[in-house]
Amino acid sequence: MGYKIIAQLFGIAAMAALFISYQQTSRRRLITGKLCADLCWSVHYLCLAAYGGAIPNFIGIFRELVFINREEKKWAAHIFWPVIFILLNWLLGIRTFASAINILPIAASTFVTISLWCRNPRLTKIISLPVSVTFMIYDLFVGSYVGMVNEGIAIFSIILYFVKEFKETKGEKNNV
């Protein structure tokens, strides 16, 4: 029972980090929020013994550490990084394959890697929508209720960002 409580607490912390990250306009701050969330989700899924969800989040910690340095460090800007992280996710996912449902977080992580590699935070958020839907389905199967709530909040947060952006753009057009 103790592990389930710990899982929920880390899930709540991950939710907060993701909600805040999707409100960011800077790529660096968005990735920093994702890094914090992946750390918490790794612990969350490990406590639930949902290794299919733990693997991509654990790999995500290292992915974000590289991607956050993409603009400042030449070594982090090479295209082989997203390829390495995608391959690593699939290799570890296949190695620990327990059921077909484990494909969902690995596939979602592929799109997360692509979205975070993009330099455009707007595109990152657009790609994140189907990722959230995929993880919501996975969370339903593994009993991660806080994960399902998180994905609902993530979808809401992303949509909220675009609504705010639309209103700001509309307001600028009216002022011209």
Predicted TM-score of the model (pTM)? 0.82
Per-residue pLDDT tens digits for 8-46: 899 999 989 987 887 787 888 888 998 999 999 999 999
Return the sign of the alpha-carbon dihedral for residues 74, 78, 84, 85: positive
Per-residue pLDDT tens digits for 130-147: 999 999 999 999 889 899
The confidence score (pLDDT) of residue 66 equals 95
Mean pLDDT across the chain: 89
Per-residue pLDDT tens digits for 110-135: 998 998 888 887 888 889 899 999 99
DSSP structure string for 120-163: -HHHHHHHHHHHHHHHHHHHHHHT-HHHHHHHHHHHHHHHHHHH
The confidence score (pLDDT) of residue 67 equals 92
Q: Burial of 157 by CB count in 10 Å (0-12 exposed, 13-18 middle, 19+ buried)?
A: buried
The two structure tokens encoding residue 165: 């952006």
| CA 33/CA 28 separation, integer angstroms | 9
The two structure tokens encoding residue 50: 């949902």
The confidence score (pLDDT) of residue 14 equals 93
* All structural domains of the chain with their residue ranges: 2-175
